[in-house]
Structure 1
Amino acid sequence: MSTYIRVELKRRIRQHFSECCAYCRTAEFLTAMTFEFEHILPLSAEGETVFENLCFACPSCNRHKSDRQTAIDPESGKAVALFHPQKQVWTKHFAWSEGGKELKGLTAVGRATIEALRMNRPALVQARVMWIKLGEHPPRLS
């Protein structure tokens, strides 16, 4: 399996996710980090380097996800598939808390993904508070 991603495919992925992390929705321009092109179904599990299996992810979400495909829903205690940014609708599984500083899981998939990827990690919540004050958060995505 090739890990090389063509420039045109990278452009399409970046545009498709509005230059925000497909998981935590952090906007790349708000950070001092270069975001990554993540294989949703990992190469180690026969995932392909195609549009439908790639997403734009912040380094933290990408590292925490790693090769995982499932995680435990903290409410039910059952293993569920992680959120698939190309096949599932973000707003069906996640919502912003009142004030927008934390993510809430609306489904077992959402809750498990938030926990597994540490999408409400303290440093990110603190950064969101600053971004809210600047009027840059939550992101306005279609």
Structure 2
Amino acid sequence: MPQQAHLLTFPIDHIIAQQHGGETEPENLAFSCVRCNSYQGPNIAGLDPHNRELTRLYNPRSDAWEEHFTIHGCHIVGLTPIGRTTVGLRQMNHPDFLALRESLIAEGLFPVA
């Protein structure tokens, strides 16, 4: 979500959960979406919906967003196993997210492809 969507808050959270050895240091912290984060929980991997293989999740500190995701309308599409797994586990295309993105697109606050 764009930071211009000022009605939304983005708490800072661990990329790798503390219970998995993640440190509380800048390299392991990122703004998070509360709802996406609640679906992810402490998971650092999930099953790729295409091949059912265990796959690590997207890491905003070491992965390039454009390599793993694209936007089609208001849908976020995973391009790689990491992208597909992250989209699925975090339920990034939940109907509530789609409705929010549609509103942001209409206001010119969300990129469209």
- TM normalised by structure 2 equals 0.92
- Partners of 1:86 and 1:93 lie apart in 2 by 13
Q: How many residues align?
A: 112
Which position in structure 2 is the counterpart of 1:79?
54
Structure 2: stretches of 5+ with no match in the other structure: none
Name the CA shift for 1:77/1:31 in 2 (closer, same or farther; >3 Å). farther
2:13 aligns to what SS in structure 1?
Answer: strand
Instruction: Kindly report which structure 2 residues correspond to 1:103-142, keeping only aligned pairs within 5 A, or say none.
Output: 103-138=76-111
Give yes or no for contact 1:28–1:58 (8 Å, CA) kept in 2. no
1:27 aligns to what SS in structure 2?
Answer: coil
Give yes or no for contact 2:12–2:32 (8 Å, CA) kept in 1. yes
**1:62 Cα shift?**
1.5
1:138 aligns to what SS in structure 2?
Answer: coil
What are the Cα deviations for residues 8-46 of structure 1, in whole angstroms up to 9, with x where unaligned? xxxxxxxxxxxxxxxxxx124426332111111110011
Which amino acid in structure 1 is aligned with residue 39 of structure 2? H
Q: Sequence identity, in percent?
A: 31
RMSD: 1.4
Name the CA shift for 1:57/1:107 in 2 (closer, same or farther; >3 Å). same
Which position in structure 2 is the counterpart of 1:70?
45
- Partners of 2:100 and 2:16 lie apart in 1 by 29
Instruction: Kindly report which structure 2 residues correspond to 1:1-142, keeping only aligned pairs within 5 A, or say none.
Output: 26-30=1-5, 32-97=7-72, 100-138=73-111
Give yes or no for contact 2:46–2:55 (8 Å, CA) kept in 1. yes
Give yes or no for contact 1:81–1:109 (8 Å, CA) kept in 2. yes
1:52 aligns to what SS in structure 2?
Answer: helix
**1:58 Cα shift?**
1.3
Q: Which has the higher contact order (CA 8 A, sep 6+)?
A: 2
Which segment drifts farther, 125-134 or 113-122?
125-134
- TM normalised by structure 1 equals 0.74
